[in-house]
Amino acid sequence: MTTLNRKQDSAGKTNRPGTETKLAGIPRTGQLVMLVAPAALWLIFLLILPLITLVMLSFQKSAFGPDSTVFSLNSYIEFFRNSAYQRLMLRSLWISLLVSFFTILLSYPLAYYMAFHGGQKQSLMLNLLIIPAWTSFLLRVLAWRVILGSSGLLNTFLLWIGLINQPITGLFYSQTAVVITLIYIWIPFAALPIYVALQRIEPGLLEAASDLGSRPWQAFLKVTFPLSIPGILAGFLFVFIPTVGEYVTPAMVGGPNGLMIGNIIWDQFSRGLDWPMGATLSLAILVAVLIPLVLAARVAQKSGALGGGR
Amino acid sequence: MVNNIIEFENVSKQYREKAGEIVNALNPSELSIQAGEFFTLLGPSGCGKTTALRLMAGFIQPTAGNIKIDGLAMNNVPPYRRPVNMVFQDYALFPHLNVFENVAFGLRIKRTQAAEISRRVNESLEIVQLVGLNNRRPSQLSGGQKQRVALARALVNQPAVLLLDEPLGALDLKLRRAMQLELKALQQQVGITFVYVTHDQEEALTMSDRIAVMSAGRILQIDSPQNIYERPTTRFVADFVGETNFLTGKIKNIVTGDYVKLAIGNDLVDVRHRTNGIHPGDTVTVAIRPERLSLAADGQQVEQISATISEITYLGTDTRYLVTIPTGEKAAVRVQNAGMNRTSSYRIGDQVKLGYVLDDAQILVS
């Protein structure tokens, strides 16, 4: 058996994977290691090691020079003492919540339409949804400067129709601008998981609801919506997590009131050269993001939506 | 009029295919289903039986004609306002709700009081013999259990008519047999009209009060199971329900009003006929069930056709003979292996006579 396998292997042909089969002469445990290795290495070098480095950095007195080996809680003390950090942190979380909420609110009808009324145009609509993501992130953010700026498209239009006689200046370089821009950026990320969840709902379930006396809106509330909760949660996480750490958009359209924690971290690592403080703030975000993550997982478990299927 | 719970008046359903081609899912059909009966729509897939059922449920609207349920016109009445409930082929249980909530769904929509809901849900779960699984999710149930939940979910609403779309199709044979008897007993217990769709002729014969046999969007025959089996009017019905021999004969003369002398090969036999419009000289098809034919030596039977045995198959309870008659047509004969017939006394190549009782042969409408 073994010799036979070797012969076939050396001839460049692999036989069917059976219990005794060796692929290219490598034993099964070896095969397993090879399959897992790329992912494991990726995780170790790009996630676990940087995370350990970050934790270590946050306890250093300084990133450079002789102080770099001195253990210190300075960064943490500073984080808890300086309320500016906490305010910025809360603002970031608040902005992220707003963005996630409105993104899902706007994405849901879109996903609903694609899933239930898209017909043969479904793939076309999906492509239209994704195509903007092919252009650079920076360009898409910059586009909103053109729209929201004081002599931008929106103001020009409002002036032209006479709704206002002075350009609105508060639109640009504000928290609102950050929220609007990010909603626009994230819509495909929320719409896709919701679309997938809605599309997986069997038409028979809606017929059953109707058969049991539900009007269309009742069927939506009692069947369609609960079954789309996994999609909503996925969409929420896809939007919320990257938004908390976002720094490009606030830097470009946010102005002083639109700054987020990400901008400060960026400052600590670049201009401020206070890497331990940057590391501490990064870890604070990490913890702050973990909380809604755990909550979302709990909701998913309770609604039983994830364990669904038939 | 009062007794008919469902009426189809000239109801038809057409679909327009992508290529613009029109498909007749249901040709103009008349159908009256009486209150309290177990009515089965029987036919092969694509015959229009599910279309007919979905028309009753209101998921689709007829292209033409009127549907009445309980005397009321159902044109453009949506499913949620019809006094019918459906048991779906794949059960369509709500995956996010447990057994209790699945069954309670219809009552909650109607804003029934909590105590009343609890009482009725438990009652209907008892009727379908599914107790103690109230908190299970559909994904934690076996096929048979899902089937029972689907049934309870429909019954709890006390519909005027229960529509069942091949509800036993996904179950294994043994469970299916048990459920057939259970469903029939259940229907008699609750007294609700059942409209049952199936492609399984045995299922239809076992359970139904009346059967409508359908083919290619047409209702071919509506009759009791016994008459569907014994007196099929068309070749399709005779062939679809049970095994049947078709023999070609020529009418010699019409003896009295109800039977004719028929030439099959060189033999002259009597066949009872119930259809008008046949004349001496016509070529007709005669249907005879294999178990209604007997084998005997010459002269022992009244109606007899010469034949040669070409195949013998032992089937345990029966022996099946395939015989060839002089015209070249073949016929199957089933003889029960009991009493004197316990072992076959015939061999391949033996000359025999096929015999039958007058009523067992049927002249078919072409």
Give the model's confidence band at B145: pLDDT under 50 very low, under 70 low, under 90 confident, else very high.
very high
Could A204 and B59 be called an inter-chain contact, meaning their C-beta atoms sit closer than 8 Å? Answer: no
Say whether both B95 and B126 belong to one domain. yes
Give the model's confidence band at B105: pLDDT under 50 very low, under 70 low, under 90 confident, else very high.
very high
CATH of the domain at B41: 3.40.50.300
**pLDDT(A65) > 90:** no
User: B162: distance to nearest CA of chain A, Å?
Assistant: 11
Say whether both B187 and B257 belong to one domain. no
Q: Is B112 on the interface with A (CB under 8 A)?
A: no
Could A307 and B137 be called an inter-chain contact, meaning their C-beta atoms sit closer than 8 Å? Answer: yes
**pLDDT(B33) > 90:** yes
Q: Which pLDDT value is given to residue B299? A: 60
Domain boundary among B206, B239, B272: B239
Say whether both B258 and B220 belong to one domain. no
Backbone angles phi, psi at B141, to 5 degrees: -110, 155
Say whether both B130 and B209 belong to one domain. yes
CATH of the domain at B248: 2.40.50.100
CA pair distance B272, B254, nearest whole angstrom: 10
**pLDDT(A136) > 80:** yes
Is-contact B39 B198, C-beta < 8 A? no
DSSP letters of B145-201? Answer: HHHHHHHHHHHTT--SEEEEESTTTTS-HHHHHHHHHHHHHHHHHH--EEEEEES-H
Q: Which residue has the tokens 């919320």?
A: A240
**pLDDT(A277) > 70:** yes
B91: tokens are: 């059960």
pLDDT per position as a tens digit, B73-97: 998 899 999 999 999 998 999 999 9
Range of the domain at B234: 4-239
Q: What 3-state DSSP class applies to B55?
A: helix
Kindly list the residues from chain A whose CB atom is less than 8 angstroms away from the CB atom of residue B109. Answer: 212-214, 218, 222
Say whether both B159 and B305 belong to one domain. no
Q: Which residues pair with B155 in a beta bridge?
A: none
Per-residue pLDDT, averaged over B350-356, amounts to 85
Q: Which residues pair with B86 in a beta bridge?
A: B163
Domain boundary among B239, B268, B291: B239
Give the model's confidence band at B131: pLDDT under 50 very low, under 70 low, under 90 confident, else very high.
confident
For chain A, residues classed under CATH 1.10.3720.10 are 82-303
Per-residue pLDDT, averaged over B44-55, amounts to 91
Kindly list the residues from chain B whose CB atom is less than 8 angstroms away from the CB atom of residue A231. Answer: none
Give the model's confidence band at A3: pLDDT under 50 very low, under 70 low, under 90 confident, else very high.
very low
Say whether both B216 and B132 belong to one domain. yes
Say whether both B316 and B344 belong to one domain. yes
Kindly list the residues from chain A whose CB atom is less than 8 angstroms away from the CB atom of residue B59. Answer: 207, 210-211
Beta strands B245-254; B283-288: pairing state? antiparallel
> Quick one: which of A2, A27, A23 has its CA closest to A13?
A23
Q: Give the one of B57, B90, B137 whose C-beta lies nearest to A211's C-beta.
A: B57
**pLDDT(A17) > 60:** no
Query: Which of the two residues, B271 and A300, has the higher pLDDT score?
Result: B271
What total number of domains does chain B contain? 2
**pLDDT(A99) > 90:** yes
Distances (CA, A) of B296 to B240, B267, B271, B329, B350: 28, 15, 19, 19, 11
Say whether both B215 and B258 belong to one domain. no
Q: Which pLDDT value is given to residue A208? A: 95
Question: Which chain A residue has its CA at the smallest distance from B18's CA?
Answer: A120
| Segment holding A193, helix H or strand E | helix A175-199
**pLDDT(A18) > 50:** no
Q: Is B259 on the interface with A (CB under 8 A)?
A: no
Q: Which ipTM did the prediction report? A: 0.82
Q: Which pLDDT value is given to residue A303? A: 62
**pLDDT(A168) > 80:** no
Say whether both B164 and B293 belong to one domain. no
**pLDDT(B65) > 60:** yes
Domain boundary among B199, B214, B239: B239
pLDDT per position as a tens digit, B231-270: 888 889 988 888 889 988 888 887 776 778 888 877 888 8
Say whether both B232 and B248 belong to one domain. no
Per-residue pLDDT, averaged over A78-104, amounts to 91
Say whether both B216 and B274 belong to one domain. no
Count of A–B CB contacts within 8 Å?
74
Could B90 and A207 be called an inter-chain contact, meaning their C-beta atoms sit closer than 8 Å? Answer: no
The number of beta carbons lying within 10 Å of the beta carbon of residue B328 is 8
CA pair distance B286, B273, nearest whole angstrom: 10
Q: Give the one of B59, B109, B157 whose C-beta lies nearest to A207's C-beta.
A: B59
Q: What is the CATH number of domain A82-303?
A: 1.10.3720.10
Say whether both B68 and B166 belong to one domain. yes
Per-residue pLDDT, averaged over A40-57, amounts to 90
pLDDT per position as a tens digit, A218-265: 999 999 999 999 899 999 989 998 999 888 888 888 888 888 889 989
